[in-house]
Amino acid sequence: MFDSVTIVGVGLIGGSFSLSLKERGLVKNVIGVGNTASGINKALELGLIDETLPLEEAVKKSDLIYVAIPVDVTVPVMRQIMDCMTEKQIVADAGSTKQALCESLADHPLRRRFVASHPMWGTEYSGPEAAVRGAFGGRACVICEKEKTDPDAVETMENIYKSLGMHMVYMDADSHDMHAAYISHISHITSFALANTVLEKEKEDSAIFELAGGGFESTVRLAKSNPAMWGPIFKQNREHVLDVLNEHIAQLRKFKSCLEKENYAYLQELMENANKIRRILK
């Protein structure tokens, strides 16, 4: 059990992580750090955290520091954290991109106390109110650059994530960002684009509300995700996102061409090939 854990960014991921630690009796005291008084006060009100302190004070008081903030601000905040840490503490992040962060910390004297992790779970909601109990179970958690981190720090985070019901996956930072682009980031871009398409073509809000079925809702729900979080992710993972986006556009063009040329046999073939995903996602 930790005496004290600091969570920087008590929103969907950070708040749910705190709830999970508390539910499993893994921590006595959770300190919250945030950039808005309203957010921190809501986290206190919801019981996600026990107290709040300025960042440096919170770090000095904690065994573990968990960072769950937008990836563009994670780099400077992480360096600030590590500059006032000791070798007895551990810091881990939950960011959706890894290469930029890992590269920025490569030369830090306490690099080996940093666990680069990405729990592959989330919803389209954000803020302290979005935190939920029972999050993370049955999902994968990626740890990057395991060999560059002290074994005890890795083991500590592995044990935490496993206690939350997650299974571990290990890879280098660039491979993580590539796979995340294909599995997660393209889904969000597609959802944003589809929402814009419908909003552009369907001028009647009532028609969207009344006629949209479950299929549309499930496809477009990610468009409700916070742009302040996803914009930096797309920016940091630009090359991999462009690669997958180009492939996605090529696939869309195949469907478009089939309809333009009335090539319904090939259209059927494209859909049947897509059905192979059933073997993987059951």
Query: For 262-282, how does the pLDDT look when each residue is reduced to its tens digit (9 = 90+)?
Result: 999 999 999 999 999 999 887
Residue 117, token pair as written in the block: 């992790």
Is the domain of 135 the same as that of 258? no
Residue 97's SS3 state is: coil
CATH number, position 152? 3.40.50.720
The reply to whether 56 and 128 lie within a common domain is yes
Same structural domain, 159 and 212: no
For residue 218, pLDDT over 90 is answered with no
Q: For position 263, what pLDDT does the model report?
A: 98
pLDDT-wise least confident of 43-57, 102-116, 185-199: 185-199
Measured CA to CA, the distance from residue 126 to residue 85 in angstroms comes to 29
Cα–Cα distance, 273 to 267 (Å, whole number): 10
Last residue of a domain, one of 171, 195, 228: 171
Choice among 162-166, 194-198, 253-257 with the minimum mean pLDDT: 194-198
Residue 85 has pLDDT above 80, yes or no: yes
Percent of the chain residues past pLDDT 90, beyond the cut: 89
SS3 178: helix
Inform me whether the pLDDT recorded for 224 exceeds 70.
Answer: yes
- Residue 114 binned pLDDT confidence (cut-offs 50, 70, 90): very high
Question: How many domains is the chain built from?
Answer: 2
Verify that 271 and 164 share a domain, yes or no: no
Where residue 274 sits, what CATH number does that domain have? 1.10.3660.10
Average pLDDT over residues 52-80: 97
C-alpha–C-alpha distance, residues 155 and 161, integer Å: 10
Asked if pLDDT for residue 201 goes beyond 90, the answer is: no
Q: SS3 of 107, please?
A: coil
Q: Are residues 166 and 202 in the same domain?
A: no
Secondary structure of residue 38 in the 3-state scheme: helix
SS3 label, residue 93? strand
* Same domain, yes or no: 40 and 108: yes
User: Does 131 have pLDDT greater than 80?
Assistant: yes
Backbone angles phi, psi at 127, to 5 degrees: 90, 170
Q: Which residues pair with 142 in a beta bridge?
A: 118, 169
Average of per-residue pLDDT values in the chain: 95
The residue range of the domain holding 96 is 2-171
Directed axis angle between helix 186-201 and helix 238-260, to 10°? 50
Query: What confidence score (pLDDT) does residue 213 get?
Result: 66
| Global confidence as pTM | 0.93
3-state secondary structure of 272: helix
Residue 2 has pLDDT above 70, yes or no: yes
Q: Give me the mean pLDDT over the 128-146 stretch.
A: 96
Q: What are the strands of the beta sheet with 64-67, ordered from one edge? A: 51-52, 27-33, 2-8, 64-67, 90-93, 114-119, 140-144, 167-171
Show which of 130, 155, 171 is a domain's final residue.
171
185 with 114, same domain: the answer is no
CA distances from residue 60 to 54, 81, 154 in whole angstroms, order as listed: 10, 9, 20
Q: Please check whether residues 183 and 100 belong to one and the same domain.
A: no
Last residue of a domain, one of 141, 171, 201: 171
Same domain, 78 and 214: no
Pair (109, 200) in one structural domain: no
Say how far apart CA 235 and CA 241 lie, in whole Å: 9
Predicted local distance difference test score (pLDDT) of residue 270:
97
Same structural domain, 87 and 101: yes
